[in-house]
Chain A
Amino acid sequence: MTQIAKLALEDGTVFTGEAFGASGEVDGEVVFNTSMTGYQEILTDPSYCGQIVTMTYPEIGNYGVNREDVESGKPHLAGFIVRENSRVASNFRSEGSLEDYLKENNIIALEGIDTRALVRRIRTVGALKGVISTEDLDDSSLVEKARNSEGLVGRDLVKEVIPEDSCQWEETLSEWAKLPGESLAGGDQAYHIVALDFGMKWNIARHLKDLGCQVTILPGTSTADEVMALNPDGVFLSNGPGDPEPLDYAISTIAALVPQVPVFGICLGHQLLSLACGAKTFKLKFGHRGANQPVQNLDAGTVEITAQNHGFAVEEESLPDHLEVTHRNLNDDTIAGVRHKEHNAFGVQYHPESSSGPHDSRYLFQQFYDSIAASKNS
Chain B
Amino acid sequence: MPRRDDIKKILLIGSGPIVIGQACEFDYSGTQACKALREEGYEVVLVNSNPATIMTDPSVADRTYIEPLTWEMVEKVIAKEKPDAMLPTLGGQTGLNVAMDLDRHGVLEKHGVEMIAANAAVIAKAEERDQFKVAMEKIGLDVCHGQTVHTIEEARGFLGEIGLPAVIRPSFTMGGAGSAIAYNREEFDTLVRSGLDQSPVTEVLVEESIIGWKEYEMEVMRDKDDNVVIICAIENFDPMGIHTGDSITVAPAQTLTDKEYQRMRDASLAVIREIGVETGGSNIQFAINPDDGRMIVIEMNPRVSRSSALASKATGFPIAKIAAKLAVGYSLNELKNDITRETLACFEPTIDYVVTKIPRFAFEKFPEADSTLTTQMKSVGETMAIGRTFKESFQKALRGLEVGRFGFGCDGKDLWGTDEQPSDEEIRSKLSIPNSERAWYLRYAIKAGYTPEQLFEITYIDPWFLDQLYELVEIEEEIVACGAIDNIDQRLLKRIKQNGYSDRQVATLLNTSEIAVRQWRKEQGVIPVFKSVDTCAAEFEAYTPYYYSTYEEENEAPEKPEGKKRIMILGGGPNRIGQGIEFDYCCCHASFALREMGIESIMVNSNPETVSTDYDTSDLLFFEPLTIEDVLNICDRVQPDGVIVQFGGQTPLNLARGLQNAGVPIIGTTVDTIEAAEDREKFQQLLNKLGLHQPPNGIARNMEEARLEVAEIGYPVLVRPSFVLGGRAMEICYDHAQFERFVAEAFVVAQGQPVLIDKFLEDATEVDVDAICDRNRVVVSGIMEHIEEAGVHSGDSACAIPPYSLPGPVIEEIRKATVSLAMELQVCGLMNIQFAVKREDGEHKIYVLEVNPRASRTVPFVAKATGFPVAKIATQVMTGKTLDELGIEAAPIPGHVSVKESVFPFRKFSGVDIILGPEMRSTGEVMGSSERFSIAFAKSQLGAGIILPKEGNIFLSVTQRHKEIIKDLAKRLYALGFTLMATEGTAASIEEVGIPVQRVKKIAEGHPNLIDHLIDGEVTLAMNTPNGKGARTDEGKIRAAAVQYGVPCITTIQAAEAAVKAMEALREEEMSVVALQDRA
Contacts and interface: CB of A to CB of B under 8 A. Distances in A.
A88 B259 contact: no
Given A57-B350, A179-B263, A116 B389 contact: no
19 contacts: A34-B352, A36-B350, A37-B257, A41-B258, A56-B537, A59-B254, A69-B257, A83-B388, A86-B464, A87-B467, A90-B464, A115-B352, A119-B352, A176-B259, A292-B349, A293-B347, A303-B225, A330-B333, A354-B262
Given A120-B538, A177-B259, A358-B348, 20 more contacts: A32-B539, A34-B352, A35-B350, A36-B252, A36-B253, A56-B350, A58-B388, A62-B254, A90-B462, A91-B257, A92-B290, A93-B257, A113-B553, A119-B539, A179-B267, A182-B266, A293-B347, A302-B227, A358-B262, A359-B262
A35 B342 CA distance: 20
Contacts of A119: 352, 537-539
A87 B475 CA distance: 14
B260 to A, nearest CB: 6
A140 interface: no
A291 B252 CA distance: 14
A355 interface: yes
A176 B267 CA distance: 12
A120 B554 contact: yes
A84 interface: yes
Nearest to B233: A36
A117 B229 contact: no
Interface of B: 140-142, 225-227, 229, 252-263, 265-267, 270, 290-293, 331-333, 342-344, 346-354, 388-390, 452, 462-464, 467, 471, 531, 536-541, 552-554
Nearest to B463: A90
B140 A174 contact: no
Contacts of A34: 350, 352, 536-537, 539
Interface string A159-181: 00000000000000010111111
A179 B259 CA distance: 11
B261 A305 contact: no
Contacts of A58: 352-354, 388-389
A116 B229 contact: no
Contacts of B344: 294, 330-331
A63 B348 contact: no
A114 B257 contact: no
Contact of A62 (B226, B229, B452, B464): B464
B255 A90 contact: yes
B537 A88 contact: no
Given A92-B293, A114-B552, A294-B333, A123 B350 contact: no
B227 A59 contact: no
Interface of A: 15, 32, 34-38, 40-41, 56-59, 62-63, 66, 68-69, 83-84, 86-88, 90-93, 113-117, 119-120, 123, 174, 176-182, 290-294, 296, 301-303, 305, 330-331, 354-359
Contacts of A301: 225
Nearest to A66: B257
Contact of B225 (A177, A302, A330, A354): A302
A219 B41 CA distance: 59
A37 B260 CA distance: 10
Q: Is the interface of B mostly helix, strand, loop or mixed?
A: loop
B353 A182 contact: no
Contacts of B332: 303
A294 B291 CA distance: 34
A297 to B, nearest CB: 10
Given A58-B388, A117-B553, A331-B540, A88 B467 contact: yes
Nearest to B532: A116
Contacts of B331: 303
Sorted nearest first, the 6 A-B pairs with minimum C-beta distance are A38-B258, A117-B554, A356-B258, A56-B537, A176-B259, A90-B464
B940 to A, nearest CB: 48
B540 A123 contact: yes
Of listed A58, A93, A117, A301, residue having the most chain B CB within 10 A: A58
Contacts of A181: 140
Contacts of B259: 68-69, 174, 176-177, 355
B252 A57 contact: yes
Given A117-B554, A301-B225, A330-B347, A178 B263 contact: yes
Given A62-B254, A83-B388, A358-B262, A294 B346 contact: yes
B531 A116 contact: yes
B959 to A, nearest CB: 59
B315 to A, nearest CB: 11
B262 A357 contact: yes
Given A63-B255, A116-B352, A356-B258, A92 B292 contact: yes
Contacts of B257: 37-38, 40, 63, 66, 69, 91, 93, 176
Contacts of B267: 179
B389 A83 contact: yes
A94 to B, nearest CB: 8
Contacts of A114: 552-554
B259 to A, nearest CB: 4
A181 B267 CA distance: 12
A134 B554 CA distance: 23
Contacts of A83: 352, 388-389
Nearest to A65: B257
Nearest to B290: A92
Contacts of B552: 114, 116-117
Contacts of A294: 333, 344, 346-347
A88 B265 contact: no
A177 B264 CA distance: 10
B354 A305 contact: no
Contacts of A176: 257, 259-260, 263, 293
Contacts of B463: 88, 90
A373 B825 CA distance: 88
B467 A182 contact: no
Contacts of A90: 255, 462-464, 467
A205 B913 CA distance: 67
B945 to A, nearest CB: 42
A119 B554 CA distance: 11
A63 B256 contact: yes
Contacts of A179: 140-141, 263, 266-267, 270
Contacts of A177: 259, 262-263
Contacts of A91: 255-257, 260
A305 B352 contact: no
A143 to B, nearest CB: 17
Contact of A59 (B261, B291, B389, B553): B389
User: Which of A15, A37, A182, A359 has most chain B Cβ within 10 Å?
Assistant: A37
Contact of B347 (A66, A331, A355): A331
Residue among B254, B290, B540 with most chain A CB within 10 A? B254
Contact of A296 (B265, B333, B471): B333
Contacts of A331: 342-344, 347, 540
B350 A290 contact: yes
A93 B539 CA distance: 31
B494 to A, nearest CB: 10
Contacts of A355: 258-259
A83 B393 CA distance: 14
Contact of A84 (B261, B342, B389): B389
A183 to B, nearest CB: 10
Contacts of B227: 302-303
A120 B553 CA distance: 12
B386 to A, nearest CB: 11
A37 B462 CA distance: 17
B295 to A, nearest CB: 8
Nearest to A289: B539
Contact of A305 (B229, B290, B389, B471): B229
Interface centre among B226, B263, B342 (most CB of A within 10 A): B263
